[in-house]
Amino acid sequence: DTAVSQTPKYLVTQMGNDKSIKCEQNLGHDTMYWYKQDSKKFLKIMFSYNNKELIINETVPNRFSPKSPDKAHLNLHINSLELGDSAVYFCASSQTNRAGNTIYFGEGSWLTVV
Amino acid sequence: AQTVTQSQPEMSVQEAETVTLSCTYDTSESDYYLFWYKQPPSRQMILVIRQEAYKQQNATENRFSVNFQKAAKSFSLKISDSQLGDAAMYFCAYRSALGNDMRFGAGTRLTVKP
């Protein structure tokens, strides 16, 4: 029944590997996001999709590629992982013009690159 | 770009007492939303309270209330009757009514002493 669910929750992988994090929301929202939280706990937006269309693409290495097959899903694929990619990645969603556009977060995916 | 500043990296409070967390923001817009999120050690981002900028009345949710000073661009969070479960990182966030993302402050770590 989780509103925003992301998998896997924990991921340990070696440098150079390619990995994906999946996200699904069952809230019927039209906008989805990926945020990155680094070791200093700073939260920074990476991407935002509205109705499957990319609307925010912050300065993120092109090794990161989001994919939105439909409004309810936004997956994050990362190529050639680097040590600095270690972080917690949060998927989130919101509905335009409802509840102050409140963003609802998933539980986070802890990525560790070794 | 809008910025959100939380000037208190750490705060502590005695159980059952009251604590206030500070937040200021910078914007040239008149219509926006402000939020406080709580992040316990599990890293889940939990919405605590939301304030619409067009509302003069301060938002309240049980033991949590805000002091919204629009002219001063200040948005502090007051936690009354603090409980051990309130211990967490607290993030202040700003969202433009027209924008598609949420900007976060650096967070305040709250410790509750028994």
At A31-70, the pLDDT tens digits run 999 999 998 888 999 999 988 888 877 778 999 999 999 9
HSE (CB half, 13 Å, CA atoms) of B75?
34
Domain locations in chain B as residue ranges? 3-113
Reported confidence tier of residue A27, pLDDT bands at 50, 70, 90: very high
Average of per-residue pLDDT values in chain A: 91
Portion 68-107 of A in contact with B at CB < 8 A: 88, 90, 92, 99-105, 107
Using the predicted structure, report yes or no on whether residue B101 has a pLDDT greater than 80. Answer: no
Give CATH for domain B3-113. 2.60.40.10
DSSP B53: T
Per the CB < 8 A criterion, the answer to whether A33 and B93 are in contact is: no
| Apex B90 CA angle, B88 and B93, nearest 5 | 155
Sort out which chain A residues have CB atoms less than 8 A from B33's CB and list them: 100-102
B108: nearest CA partner in chain A = A41
* C-alpha–C-alpha distance, residues A113 and B20, integer Å: 37
Q: How many whole angstroms separate alpha carbon B61 and alpha carbon B44? A: 19
Q: Kindly provide the residue ranges of all beta strands, DSSP E only, lying in chain B, ordered along the sequence.
A: 3-5, 10-14, 19-21, 24-26, 32-39, 46-52, 60-61, 64-69, 74-79, 88-96, 103-104, 108-113
Q: Does A45 touch chain B if contact means CB atoms closer than 8 Å?
A: yes
- Residues 32-91 in B contacting A (C-alpha not used; CB under 8 Å): 33, 35, 37, 39, 42-45, 47, 50, 52, 89, 91
Domains and CATH numbers, chain A: 4-113 (2.60.40.10)
Neighbouring CB atoms inside 10 A of B94's CB total 25
Contact: B102, A103; criterion CB under 8 Å: yes
Binary contact (B50, A31; C-beta < 8 A): no
Residue A81 CB neighbour total at 10 angstroms? 21
**B21-79 per-position pLDDT tens digit:** 999 999 998 889 999 999 999 889 999 999 999 998 999 999 999 999 999 999 999 99
